[in-house]
Amino acid sequence: MITHNRMTDRNWSIYWARVRDKRTLKSVADENNITRERVRQIVSKGNRVLEYMGAVDAAPKDTLGCLVLSTRVENAIANESWSDWRSVKIRDFLRAHPHSKFRMYPNVGKKALAELRDAVAVFDEEAATLWFNGEEIPE
């Protein structure tokens, strides 16, 4: 199942059928064998994701705020680090939270570690690789 910014391709197609194509709740629900309430939920989530993506696009490209992270990783970072973590520079965060320390946080496993590595790699592949391999990250 492929996800784009926390929604599956199927959910995006449901979202666009309802929003862009202006189809009724009933027609979208019947076509996808789901309830009208589920269509409402998907549209609501799509709106939140698009709003979040606008905030991500506006964030400076060397801060954690520019990363597209899963809820799991966002919660782990928020619970274990600075209160305003989105404005923290990526390399500063990775130096302060080495791979060996980060994986000990509650609800952080192999999947969360890989998600964070992949998100960081979009902007700083060297830092992501060094961090994931447990090596020191230069200034």
Q: What is the average pLDDT across 13-20?
A: 86
Mean pLDDT value across the chain: 81
48 shares its domain with 14 = yes
78 shares its domain with 48 = no
45 shares its domain with 70 = no
- Residue 94: its pLDDT value, please? 87
Question: Model pTM?
Answer: 0.58
53 shares its domain with 99 = no
Question: Which of helix, strand or coil describes residue 8?
Answer: strand
- Residue 2: its pLDDT value, please? 41
Q: Which residue bears the tokens 């404005």?
A: 87
Q: What is the DSSP letter of 29?
A: H
Contact yes or no for 86/59 (Cβ under 8 A): yes
DSSP string, 78-111: HHHS-TTGGGSBHHHHHHHS-HHHHTTSTT--HH
91 shares its domain with 74 = yes
Evaluate whether residue 138 is within a structural domain: no
Structural domain for 79, as ranges: 64-132
- Residue 58: its pLDDT value, please? 64
54 shares its domain with 77 = no
Residues 6+ apart with CB under 8 A from 112: 70, 72, 73, 76
Evaluate whether residue 137 is within a structural domain: no
Total domains, the chain: 2
- Residue 31: its pLDDT value, please? 95
**pLDDT tens by residue, 81-100:** 666 777 888 888 888 888 88
Report the run of H or E that residue 4 belongs to, with start and end: strand 3-4
54 shares its domain with 105 = no
Q: Who wins on pLDDT, 54 or 110?
A: 110
Q: Who wins on pLDDT, 14 or 51?
A: 14
CA–CA distances in Å: residue 23 to residues 19, 94, 95: 7, 45, 49
Reported as half-sphere exposure (CB side, CA atoms, 13 A), residue 107 has a value of: 11
Question: Which of helix, strand or coil describes residue 3?
Answer: strand
Tokens at 60, concatenated: 């400076």
